[in-house]
Amino acid sequence: MIPEKKLSVIIVAGGRGARAGGELPKQFRSVGGKPMLMRTLEAFYDYDSKIRIVVVLPEGFESYWKQLCEKHQFTLPHRLTQGGETRFHSVKNGLELIPEEETVGVHDAARPFVTGELIGRCFDAAFTHHCGVIPVVEEVNSVRQLTDKGSRMLDRKLLRVVQTPQVFPAAALKKAYMTDYDPSFTDDASVAEKNGVHIMLVEGEESNIKITTAFDFIVAAQYDKLMPKR
C-alpha cells in the first residue's frame, strides 16, 4: 500500500532584510504590486492547495501582516509563528507546528518566483527516496578560495549554488533541529547532514532568485513582467 503523501512547508520570513535597504522588512515589500511574501505563499498553494503552510514572521510583525492580508484580500490558509535570533531558530520554531509524518519543505520568503515544477521535483524526490533534497544550479562565475597565503582557484565545475525549497521527511528534520545551534549552519541541509541525513541534489532553476539587495528588487520587477499572472 502506497503511503499518503502529506506535505507541509515552512516559509522563512523571520529576518529584517537589512541589505535590501529601507525600514520595512523586504518580505513585506511589493513585487509586481503585491507583497513578496504573498507571492511566495501563492506559489506553494498553487502547487498543492492541501499543503500545510507555516509562516515564520519577525517578532512584532504579526498584526502588520494581518493588516496586509486584509488590504489585499489575501485568504490563503496558513499558520503564523515567531522568528528567532537566527534562521536556525526561526526554522526550529516553525517545525513545532509540523507533524512528524509529513514531508516538509523549508523555503525562503525572498524567493517568490519558485515554480510548481521545482517544488514538485523537490517534494517528489524527498518522498520517494526518504532523504533530504536540495535544488542546486551550476556556478557560472570564476571563484577563488581564501587561504593563509592569499587565495587559490577552485574548479567551478565541482561547485553548485544551493537554493530552496529544501525538503525532508519531517521526523528526520525535527530530530536534526534538536541539536544546539552552530554558526556553521547556513541552511537546513547543513543541520540535517550533521545529524546523519543523506542529502540528494536535484536541478534548480536560474529564475528562482533570492531577493536580498536593492538591486535584486530592480531585477525582480523586470522578471515579474515576464511571469504569467495569477
Residue pLDDT, tens place only, 25-71: 999 999 989 999 999 999 999 999 999 999 999 999 999 999 999 99
* pLDDT for 196 beyond 80: yes
Taking only the tens place, the pLDDT of each residue in 127-158 is 999 999 999 999 999 999 999 999 999 999 99
Examine the pLDDT at 19 and tell me if it is beyond 60.
no
The share of the chain scoring above pLDDT 90, in percent, equals 87
Query: Measuring CA to CA, how many Å separate 28 from each of 20, 66, 193, 210?
Result: 12, 11, 32, 14
pLDDT score of 230: 65
Residues 84-112: tens digit of each pLDDT: 999 999 999 999 999 999 999 999 999 99
Interatomic CA distance for residues 58 and 81, integer angstroms: 9
Report how many domains make up the chain: 1
Instruction: Let me know if residue 229 belongs to a domain.
Output: no
**Does 2 reside within a domain?**
no
- Rounded average pLDDT over 178-204: 97
Residue 230 in any domain: the answer is: no
**Dist. CA 172–CA 136, nearest whole Å:** 21
pTM over 0.85: yes
Whether 199 is in a domain gets the answer: yes
Instruction: Say if 143 falls within a structural domain.
Output: yes
The domain of 183 spans: 7-224
What stretch of H or E contains 161? strand 160-162
Q: Cα–Cα distances in Å, from 178 out to 131, 151, 158, 166? A: 18, 36, 32, 18
- The residues, any chain, with a CB within 8 Å of residue 2's CB and separated by 6 or more, are none
Determine, yes or no, domain membership for 1: no
For residue 94, the domain's CATH number is 3.90.550.10
Closest by Cα among 69, 46, 47 to 57: 69
In angstroms, the Cα distances linking 105 to 20, 61, 66 are 25, 23, 23
Would residue 153 count as lying in a domain?
yes
